[in-house]
């Protein structure tokens, strides 16, 4: 099966609001496999690297300040179509616009404190994952129930 990896960050607001378990559950309920998961305090260098695509934008400095202000949970999720599935579970970027049923729609009311980061493409995932994970931190194993999460005959 063709799988892809994505970087998910449960941001400082979600950790402080003690939503980690509920957010992790959203991904588990969908059948997503966690290949890496750890609580860390993001360094300024890691934050600047993660958000280098936003350098120069008006919200860049506050973004770096926010993500380094308190611990986060960084995760690698591995699965078929994992990037788009995870982005759909997250919802639209800004809490006030995010649809109910999504993580941001259900838990977020703020534009800048939006609970979660997820890679937006395979290229972004390949760039972002090594900022937080060495190859040996990312585990390769089988979730047995995935036999019934995806059609093993393959899907287009
Ligand atoms: P996403 O996190 O949905 O991929 P993004 O990559 O466009 O969104 O932006 C990265 C983060 O920057 C986003 O999660 C919240 C913040 N951000 C984006 N646009 C903003 C704005 N206009 N004002 C304040 N924060 C913003
Ligand atoms: Mg983004």
Does 8 score more than 90 pLDDT? yes
What percentage of residues in the chain have a pLDDT greater than 70?
Answer: 100
Q: Could you give the CA distance from residue 89 to residue 101 in angstroms, rounded to a whole number? A: 8
Asked, for residue 64, whether it belongs to a domain, the answer is: no
Which residues does a 6 A CB cutoff place in the pocket of ligand 1?
54, 59, 63, 93, 111-112, 114, 117, 120
Closest atom of ligand 1 to CA, residue 90: 3
Q: How many folded domains does the chain comprise?
A: 1
Is the pTM higher than 0.95? The answer reads yes
Asked, for residue 18, whether it belongs to a domain, the answer is: yes
**Looking at residues 115-134, what average pLDDT do you find?**
98
Q: Could you give the CA distance from residue 138 to residue 133 in angstroms, rounded to a whole number? A: 7
Decide if 117 is catalytic: yes
User: Which of these, 138, 136, 9, lies nearest to 71 by C-alpha position?
Assistant: 9
Asked, for residue 155, whether it belongs to a domain, the answer is: no
Give the pLDDT score at 9.
99
Asked, for residue 36, whether it belongs to a domain, the answer is: yes
Asked, for residue 114, whether it belongs to a domain, the answer is: yes
CATH number for the domain spanning 116: value is: 3.30.70.141
- What's the chain's average pLDDT? 97
| Structure confidence by residue, pLDDT tens digits, 20-78 | 999 999 999 999 999 999 999 999 999 999 999 999 999 999 999 999 999 999 999 99
Asked, for residue 47, whether it belongs to a domain, the answer is: no
Asked, for residue 149, whether it belongs to a domain, the answer is: no
Asked, for residue 150, whether it belongs to a domain, the answer is: no
Does 1 score more than 90 pLDDT? no
| Domain range enclosing 34 | 4-41+72-142
Give the pLDDT score at 155.
76
- Ligand nearest to C-alpha 93: 1
């Amino acid at each position: 099966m063709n799988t892809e990896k994505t970087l998910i960050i449960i941001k400082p607001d979600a950790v402080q609001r003690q939503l980690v378990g509920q957010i992790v559950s959203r991904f588990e309920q969908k059948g997503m496999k966690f290949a890496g998961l750890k609580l860390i305090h993001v360094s300024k260098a890691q934050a600047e690297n993660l958000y280098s695509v936003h350098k120069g934008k008006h919200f860049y400095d506050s973004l770096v300040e926010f993500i380094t202000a308190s611990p986060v949970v960084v995760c690698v999720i591995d699965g078929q179509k994992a990037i788009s599935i995870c982005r759909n579970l997250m919802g639209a970027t800004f809490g006030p616009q995010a649809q109910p049923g999504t993580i941001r729609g259900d838990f977020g009311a703020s534009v800048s404190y939006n609970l979660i980061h997820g890679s937006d493409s395979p290229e972004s995932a390949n760039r972002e994952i090594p900022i937080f994970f060495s190859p040996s931190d990312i585990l390769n194993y089988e979730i047995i129930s995935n036999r019934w999460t995806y059609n093993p005959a393959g899907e287009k």
